Amino acid sequence: MQTDSSFTFVLFGGTGDLSMRKILPALFEAHRAGGMLADSGKIVAVARHVGDRGEYLEWVNGHVKPHVSKNGVDESAWASFLERIEFVKLDLGNPEDFVLLRDAVQALPGIRVFYLATGPSLFVPICRALASVGLNENARIVLEKPLGYDLKSSNAINDAVGEIFAEEQIYRIDHYLGKEPVQNLLALRFGNALFEPLWRREWVESIQITIAEELGVEARGDFYDNTGALRDMVQNHLLQLLSIVAMEPPHSMDSDSVRDEKLRVLRALKPIDPLDIGKVAVRGQYHSGVIRGTSVPAYATEPGVKQNSTTETFVALKVEIENWRWAGVPFFLRTGKRLADRVAEIVVNFRAVPHSALGASALRAGANRLVIRLQPNETIRLYCLAKQPGEGMNLASVHLDLAFDQFFREGQMEAYQRLLLDVINGRLALFVRRDEQEAAWKWVEPILNEWKASNRPPKPYAAGTWGPAAASAMLAQHGTCWLEEEN
């Protein structure tokens, strides 16, 4: 992925956690690889708590450098990367500071990218301030999640930003879409005649999508207590993954072709009747427990969490898609904090053979399944049945592995690195279009409203487990269970 595209990358929130852990390390990796970033490209960090460029570079050396390059830092590459970085001290409440920003970037080359690594309450004020000094013209704006608290607030942000930037200038980022296995899911389906004919209700019994975290809310208790797992993870990450798994083949991989097919899936999600939410939606909240031998506190005692909070830290859902390909196939979504393991994966459970000529052992061994793991190790694993050595026809489950780090010699590209290069090069396919976002909010909102109206507390689960028992019971009603393997 080489480019000659010159650019000026303006990073709002330049001293924030996201910039420190993800954005600046991703830009460094692209710089270090050579040829991915134009030599003339510049990074302009914006912050108010740092005095000048020298102070900012000290901060980068102390805070960003520990997060780059798992195999150590190439000091010459690091030194040349720092040469790309400029700094503008900016107070969002002072319009004159945006004049200083305009003057700083006008002399710099290429397309302008404004990355808003800030809270969503600042999106509109920043965009309006950029427009006031003419910096919205021929530029690209990157918006981090969460984009709103509900459909109304999301629309309000999109309306305001849309008055300043055209839709093709707006890059709503969801970093799960940049992960290598998600890209390989598209390759698996649409590049191989083997899988696409089986990717439908006749052959698929159910699909699971899990994003599980061992961590709690850490220092984000105040933010998380006003958000919850449904808003934080389901409305964006999980529904985006579902739409990629279930989409029809696009006629090409251009941005609108891919996003049109994802939108069709989101609009085909079966609406949930408020009376049925208790049957198809499980919400939980972690209590104290033990993770990897260490005692961890309950959510209710985390700093910033309100007393008697009913915010969910776990959600499991049964989802149905009302179209020809997927009618009758349940999609089970699950996400939570303080679970037994850190894992993100997609599990496609295929139907069993209609008649086993090989005896009872074939039934006990189970059906075929495909497991696409996104983290912590990125793999695709296909489970088949094979005869065990020895006398008789006794079957056992075996698997074929595609471990990307072993198969491909070159290092894998991290999600943020891929997505930032796509912004710089003007590729929108892996970013969320406004109508996709609206469709996701419309589907999620009845669940939010029912939970708020009922005021029922979330079901408790011990930290270090896989969530409330009700989540497993929901799958048991369909004759299946969550896949819970060791890494």
In the chain, the amino acid numbered 377 is: N
The Cα 347–Cα 335 span in angstroms is 14
Residue 48 marked in a binding site = yes
| Cα(402)–Cα(95) distance, integer angstroms | 53
Q: Write down how long the chain is.
A: 487
Instruction: Check whether 92 is labelled as a binding-site residue.
Output: yes
SS3 content of the chain, % helix, strand, coil (to 5): 40, 20, 40
Give every CB contact of residue 24 below 8 A, 6+ residues apart in sequence. Answer: 11, 43, 60, 64, 67, 68
337 is in an annotated binding site: yes
- Is 179 within any annotated ligand binding site? yes
* DSSP strand pairing (343-350 vs 331-336): unpaired
SS3 244: helix
237 is catalytic: yes
H helix or E strand, kind and range, residue 283: strand 281-287
Q: Nearest CA to 419 among 66, 70, 23, 3?
A: 23
Query: What is the DSSP pairing of strand 85-89 with strand 42-47?
Result: parallel
The torsion angles phi and psi of 289, rounded to 5 degrees, stand at -175, -165
Residue tagged active-site, from 31, 49, 67, 237: 237
Please report where in the chains the tokens 């943020």 appear, as a residue.
Answer: 416
> Is 70 marked within a binding site?
no
Who's near 85: CB < 8 A, 6+ residues apart?
42, 43, 44, 45, 53, 56, 57, 60
**Contact yes or no for 311/224 (Cβ under 8 A):** yes
Q: Is 150 annotated as a binding residue?
A: no
Binding site feature residues for substrate: 175, 179, 213, 232, 337
Annotated binding site for NADP(+): 48, 91-92, 145
Binding residues: 48, 91-92, 145, 175, 179, 213, 232, 337
Catalytically active residues, by annotation: 237
